[in-house]
Amino acid sequence: MLILHCPYCGVDAEETELHAGGEAHLKRFGPGSSDEEFEGYLFHRENPKGVHFERWRHVNGCGKWFHAARCTNTLEVFGTYSAQVFEPPQELQDKISAKRPGWEWRDLKGSDQ
């Protein structure tokens, strides 16, 4: 069972306490954007077999949204972090690079690249 550490209330919450919120760090495209950008924003999602960054909500707990870095292939959790950032903290990226050399995700590159 998936267990994520809520960075806000500090609880190690298991899956039934949490709600998955999909891909993290999406950039919103609204009025004035091209059709392609809007389609991408609405429907195209990262779907990697490996390192993935997601939004999660501690719904049956403190209720706060946060971010998590996970491996979709092994279900290993690399770490969780605040929702108030535009990309994962460098420290976490380094930790992932140590475990999954050469990983990349959307506009983020692993540190050894």
Partner 1 sequence: MKRYSAFAIAREAARYHTGWERAWASPKPKKKYDVIIVGAGGHGLATAYYLGKNFGITNVAVLEKGWLGGGNTGRNTTIIRSNYLQDASAAIYEKARSLYETMSQDLNYNVMFSPRGVIMLAQTEHEVRGYQRTAHANALQGVKTEFIGPERVKELVPIINIDGPRYPVLGGLWQERGGTARHDAVAWGYARACSQMGMDIIQKCEVTGVRSEGGKVVGVDTTQGAIDCDKLGMVVAGHSGVLAEMAGFRLPIESLSLQALVSEPIKPCMDVVVMANTVHGYMSQSDKGEMVIGGGTDGYNNYTQRGSYHHIEETVRALVETFPMISRLKMLRQWGGIVDMTGDRSPILSKAPVDGIFVNCGWGTGGFKAIPGSGWAMAELMAKGHSPLTEEFGLNRFSEGRFIDESVAAGVAH
Q: Is 2 near partner 1 (CB under 8 A)?
A: yes
Report d(CA 6, CA 3) in Å as an integer: 9
Report d(CA 83, CA 65) in Å as an integer: 6
Q: Please pick, from the candidates 12, 15, 94, 112, the single residue that binds partner 1 as defined by CB under 8 A.
A: 15
Tokens of 25: 């760090």
Closest CB to partner 1 among 75 and 107?
Answer: 75
The footprint of partner 1 on this chain (CB under 8 A) covers a number of residues equal to: 24
Q: Which of residues 24-83 bind partner 1 (CB under 8 A)?
A: 35-36, 39, 42-45, 47-49, 52, 54, 70, 72-75
Tokens of 77: 């959790």
